[in-house]
Structure 1
Amino acid sequence: MYEPIRTKSVHTMAVDTTAYPQRTREEELDIQLAGYLAALLAVTDELGLTAEGERIAAQVARLRGAPPVRHAALTNAAPATLHDRAHALAGRALLVAASRADTAAAILAAERMDAHTAARQPACAH
């Protein structure tokens, strides 16, 4: 009924996969986690939380193999906005840390989420 195909398909592309960098899932998660923690570090520095910033910087250095670049690029955002941003970044870092089973980064991210949640709450009057 049908004649078999005797030539190579013109739709098949011969791609050299060695020409592109190949990373493992763990390497990709490390890169993603380091990025979220570096962004959290920038917000933490803007909030003036020095001790917390040092802890985050240590985790970024561990993941990247080099200390993070820190700068004082201020956004002049309100502290409440910065705490919201830091909470969101810490949440993303927590998800990635949990998926790569990085206990140290997960604990740090969870602590930062709690701290930023507490900072966003109005002070209790007793």
Structure 2
Amino acid sequence: MYEPIRTKSVHSTMAADVRVPHRSREEELDIQLAGHLAALLAVTDELGLDSAGDAIARQIARLRGGMPPVRHAGLRGGSASALHGRAHALAGRALVVAASRADTAAAILAAERMDAHALALAP
């Protein structure tokens, strides 16, 4: 009923034979965690929390193999409560990834930042 395919598939390419470097799950989680922490760092710097920002920057540098993050507080004039809410959400995301990666230091830092921002949001 069906005729067997006698030609080479059009979906295979020469590039398929070349080994493409792939990142491991741990490397992908490192990149994701560093990204969440970098976003948290930006909001933390905008809030003017220097010591907390320094601690976050150290964790980012550790995840990036010693390369420190670029820090620039692009002040947008957001309200403090909105910034604390955003920072709390970002710290929560970082905590989830840190827990998935089993990174105790980053998880503790993220949990501390969540507590600090939750306290700032409390009436």
TM-score, normalised to structure 2, is 0.89
**Residue type matched to 1:79 in 2?**
A
Do structure 1's residue 62 and structure 2's residue 62 form an aligned pair? yes
Q: Give the root-mean-square deviation of aligned CA atoms.
A: 1.7
Residue matched to 1:41:
41
Report the alpha carbon displacement of residue 121 of structure 1 after superposing the two structures with TM.
0.5
Q: Percent identity?
A: 72
Q: Which residue of 1 aligns with 2:12?
A: 13
- Listed one character per residue, the Cα deviations across residues 9-68 of structure 1 (whole Å, up to 9, x for unaligned) are 33x222525475421111111011001101101111111111111110110010012111
Give CA deviations for 1:82-116 in whole Å, capped at 9, x if unaligned. Answer: 00110011011011111111010011101111111
Q: Distance in 2 between matches of 1:87 and 1:22?
A: 32
Equivalent residue number for residue 51 of structure 1:
51
Q: Secondary structure at the match of 1:6?
A: coil
Number of positions where the alignment pairs a residue of Structure 1 with one of Structure 2: 121
Structure 2 letter corresponding to 1:33: L
Distance 2:104 2:19 in 1: 35
Q: What's the TM-score once normalised by structure 1's chain length? A: 0.87
Unmatched 5+ stretches in structure 1:
none
